[in-house]
């Protein structure tokens, strides 16, 4: 009887010790695990460089894939909420900064998907140059503002709504074009795009779409109207593929991203 009790007590101590060790490992999971989860959930579109700390609280360099390499976007810090792990997701509160830029968002990582909530990003447009091939040619000026209440990217496409504002826009050394808003509405395998001008001498309106079958292409078509006094915009319109005469001119753009 006594021997049996001792064996049970010994087994209990071993189980307790193993449990305590597993908790220790879980609490001290390195930040690189979050980078692995981010890259896997975004299917290689996003990565985390220079990770420091743990999965639950840490910092690193958020990077976006451009061509065959990753380009750093911003230094970020995060805090992780462990409760969504019960549903198979990792919920992270992000904040970040770069020169003249700021980032705030809640990110939920799941199996093959990334969900963004309460997103607010402010950044100079020049940051797009190393990330988007078309921007490297256009040399954008001004500021970008990205807002989204809920937006999810997964293997099947995108779901949710987001807006991108380009303020005090300029391209190819032509300044003071205007302020613009691109509204993105994801509906699974396709996303609807709506382009509007908030103010400015070059008014652009149009629509288009993105399709999961062609994830690196965005197609837009619409109308461009330049203020009569801005004769300096004519060469820019020609470069942008907006030809013809008259105040209102149609355009069709296929933009690589």
pTM (2 decimals)? 0.75
Instruction: Give the three-class secondary structure for 155.
Output: coil
Comparing 36-40, 125-129, 234-238, which segment has the lowest mean pLDDT?
36-40
- For residue 33, CA distances in Å to 23, 36, 44, 52 come to 16, 5, 15, 11
Dist. CA 241–CA 45, nearest whole Å: 30
Which of 44-75 are b and which e, b meaning 16 or more Cβ less than 10 Å from the residue's Cβ? Answer: eebbbeebeebbbebbbbbbbbbeeebebbbb
What pLDDT sits at residue 9? 53
- What's the mean per-residue pLDDT of the chain? 79
DSSP 75-91: EEEEEEESGGGGGT-EE
Regarding predicted confidence, which is higher, 178 or 213? 178
Regarding predicted confidence, which is higher, 50 or 226? 226
The gap from C-alpha 151 to its chain's centroid, in whole angstroms, comes to 10
Q: Give the helix/strand (H/E) hosting 246.
A: none
Q: How confident is the model at residue 222 (pLDDT cuts 50, 70, 90)?
A: very high
Query: How does pLDDT run across 171-211, given as a tens digit for each residue?
Result: 988 888 999 999 999 988 889 999 999 999 999 999 999 88
Comparing 40-49, 95-104, 183-192, 212-221, which segment has the lowest mean pLDDT?
40-49
Task: Give me the mean pLDDT over the 92-109 stretch.
Answer: 82
Query: How does pLDDT run across 108-153, given as a tens digit for each residue?
Result: 877 778 889 999 999 888 877 766 777 777 889 999 999 999 998 8
- The ranges assigned to domains in the chain are 30-98, 112-257
DSSP state of 125: G
DSSP state of 244: S
Contacts of 173 (CB under 8 A, 6+ apart): 139
Q: Give the helix/strand (H/E) hosting 50.
A: strand 46-53
**How much of the chain exceeds pLDDT 90, in percent?**
24
């Amino acid at each position: 009887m006594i021997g049996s009790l001792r064996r049970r007590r010994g087994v209990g101590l071993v189980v307790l010790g193993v449990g305590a060790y597993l908790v220790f490992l879980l609490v001290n999971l390195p930040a690189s695990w979050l980078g692995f989860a981010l890259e896997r959930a975004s299917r290689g579109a996003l990565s985390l460089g220079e990770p420091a700390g743990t999965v639950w609280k840490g910092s690193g360099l958020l990077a976006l894939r451009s061509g065959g390499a990753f380009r750093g976007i911003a230094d970020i810090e995060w805090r992780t909420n462990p409760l969504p792990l019960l549903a198979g997701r990792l919920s992270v509160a992000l904040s970040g900064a770069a020169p003249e830029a700021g980032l705030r968002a809640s990110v939920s990582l799941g199996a093959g998907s990334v969900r963004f909530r309460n997103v607010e990003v402010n950044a100079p447009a020049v940051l797009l140059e190393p990330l988007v091939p078309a921007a490297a040619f256009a040399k954008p000026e001004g500021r970008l503002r990205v807002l989204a209440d809920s937006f999810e990217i997964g293997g099947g496409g995108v779901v949710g709504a987001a807006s991108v504002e380009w303020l005090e826009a300029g391209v190819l050394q032509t300044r003071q074009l205007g302020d613009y808003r691109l509204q993105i509405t994801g509906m699974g395998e396709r996303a609807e795009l709506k382009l509007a001008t908030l103010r400015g001498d070059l008014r652009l309106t149009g629509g288009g779409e993105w399709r999961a079958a062609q994830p690196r292409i965005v197609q837009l078509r619409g109308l461009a109207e330049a203020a009569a006094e801005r004769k300096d915009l004519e060469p820019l319109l020609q470069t942008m593929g907006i030809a013809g005469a008259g105040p209102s001119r149609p355009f069709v753009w296929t933009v690589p991203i």
